[in-house]
Amino acid sequence: MTTWTDRRDDAPRLLVERAHEELLAGHADDPRLAAVRSLVRDSWSRSLTALVGVEGAPPLDLDAEELAAYRSAHPLAAAMAMIRGLLLPGDALESGVVVAVGDAAGRLLWVEGDRSIRALTGDMGFVAGANWSEAAVGTAAPGTALALDRSVQIRGPEHYNRLVQPWSCTAAPVRDPETRAILGVLDVTGGSEAATAQAQLLVDATARAVESELLVARLRARAESTGHRSALPKAPARAPKPASILRVLGRDLAVLEVHGPDGERTVELSERHAELLLMLATHRQGLSGERLAELVYDDARSDSLRPEMVRLKKVLAEHAPHLVPASRPYRLEAPLETDLQQMLSLLDRGAHRVALAAYPGDALPGSRAPGVEELRDTARSTLREALLAEASVEVLLAYADTAAGADDAEVLRLCLRMLPARSPRRAGLVARIERLEG
- Do 266 and 356 share a domain, yes or no? yes
Examine residue 280 and state whether it is found in any structural domain, yes or no: yes
71: domain CATH number is 3.30.450.40
Q: Are residues 66 and 105 in the same domain?
A: yes
Q: pLDDT exceeding 90 applies to what percent of the chain? A: 50
Query: Are 167 and 280 part of one and the same domain?
Result: no
User: Are residue 71 and residue 167 in the same domain, yes or no?
Assistant: yes
Residue range 276-326, pLDDT digits in tens: 999 999 998 999 999 999 999 988 777 889 999 999 999 999 989 999 999
Residue 263 lies in a domain: yes
Of 157, 151, 60, the residue nearest 109 (C-alpha)? 60
Whether residue 396 is contained in a domain is answered as no
383 domain residue, yes or no: no
**Domain termination residue (choose one: 376, 402, 424):** 376
Within a domain: 397: no
Contact 67, 128 (CB under 8 A): yes
Instruction: Looking at the structure, tell me whether residues 214 and 284 fall in a common domain.
Output: no
Examine residue 371 and state whether it is found in any structural domain, yes or no. Answer: yes
Question: Band of the pLDDT at 21, cuts 50, 70, 90?
Answer: confident
- Domain end: 331, 361, 376, which one? 376
Given a cut of 50, is residue 230 above it in pLDDT?
no
Query: Which of 224, 252, 281 is at the close of a domain?
Result: 224
Neighbour count for residue 176 (Cβ, 10 Å): 16
Looking at the structure, tell me whether residues 114 and 246 fall in a common domain. no
* pLDDT per position as a tens digit, 162-179: 999 999 999 999 999 989
Task: Encode pLDDT of 39-66 as tens digits.
Answer: 999 999 999 888 998 888 898 898 888 8
Say if 301 falls within a structural domain: yes
Quick count: other Cβ atoms within 10 Å of Cβ 392? 16
Q: How many domains does the chain have?
A: 2
Residue-number span of the structural domain to which 101 is assigned: 54-224
Are both 302 and 360 inside the same structural domain?
yes
- The alpha carbon of residue 83 and the mean position of all alpha carbons in its chain are separated, in whole angstroms, by 22
Q: What is the reported pLDDT for 384?
A: 92
Please say if the pLDDT value at position 236 is more than 60.
no
Verify that 173 and 273 share a domain, yes or no: no
Residue 263: pLDDT band by 50, 70, 90 thresholds? Answer: low
Grade residue 232 by pLDDT with cuts at 50, 70 and 90. Answer: very low
294 shares a domain with 148: no
Do 206 and 259 belong to one domain? no
Residues 215 and 89 in one domain: yes
Cα 73 from Cα 267, distance rounded (Å): 35
Q: Residue 260: what pLDDT?
A: 63
In this structure, are residues 14 and 5 in contact, taking their beta carbons and an 8 Å threshold? no
Transcribe 284-353 into DSSP letters: TT-B-HHHHHHHHHS-TT-SSHHHHHHHHHHHHHHH-GGGPPBTTTBB-SS--EEHHHHHHHHHHTT-HH
**Is the residue at 46 inside a domain?**
no
Average pLDDT over the chain, rounded to whole?
86
Q: Check: pTM over 0.75? Answer yes or no.
A: no
Question: Is there a single domain that holds both residue 316 and residue 245?
Answer: yes
